[in-house]
């Protein structure tokens, strides 16, 4: 999955907490948010706050789909509220390989090449 494809998918699934997201989709979108935050930070703190509010829902949604891909409930995102340990555990889970079989959250996300071959 490419950088721009991940951004497009995350914004098209703005508040979609169902399904699964591959590692690349999650990390490309996180990089996009980080880089754009740096650019928006030059414009002032109010604009940074507005930007982060605007991307909060897609970040939560892609995080939930990423956890689904590792066969975990999206409720585990609340672990990020636990100081120090919570975010570290989430990062480890976000870095894990995708579950290659159908799990309780659906079939594995297919790469775009596989989707194009089916069409």
CB 51 within 8 Å of CB 36: yes
67 Cβ neighbours under 8 A, 6+ residues apart: 73, 74, 76, 77, 93, 94
Residues 29, 116: Cα–Cα separation, whole Å: 22
pLDDT at 111: 62
Q: What is the model's pTM?
A: 0.85
Long-range contacts of 3-8 (CB under 8 A, 24+ apart): 3/28, 3/31, 3/32, 5/112, 6/32, 7/32
Judged against a pLDDT cut of 60, whether residue 9 lies above it is answered with: yes
pLDDT at 82: 94
pLDDT at 105: 87
Per-residue pLDDT tens digits for 42-85: 998 999 999 999 999 999 999 999 999 998 999 999 999 999 99
- Residue 88 backbone dihedrals phi, psi, to 5 degrees: -65, -45
pLDDT at 1: 82
């Amino acid at each position: 999955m490419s950088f721009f494809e991940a951004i497009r998918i995350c914004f098209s699934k703005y508040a979609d907490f169902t399904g699964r997201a591959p590692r690349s989709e999650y990390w490309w979108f996180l990089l996009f948010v980080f880089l754009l935050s740096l650019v928006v930070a030059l414009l002032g703190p109010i604009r940074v706050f507005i930007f982060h509010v605007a991307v909060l829902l897609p970040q939560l949604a892609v995080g939930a789909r990423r956890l689904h891909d590792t066969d975990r409930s999206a409720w585990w995102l609340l672990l990020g509220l636990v100081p120090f340990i919570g975010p570290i555990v989430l990062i480890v889970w976000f870095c894990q390989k995708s579950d290659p079989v159908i799990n309780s959250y659906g079939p594995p996300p297919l790469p775009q090449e596989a989707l194009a071959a089916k069409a």
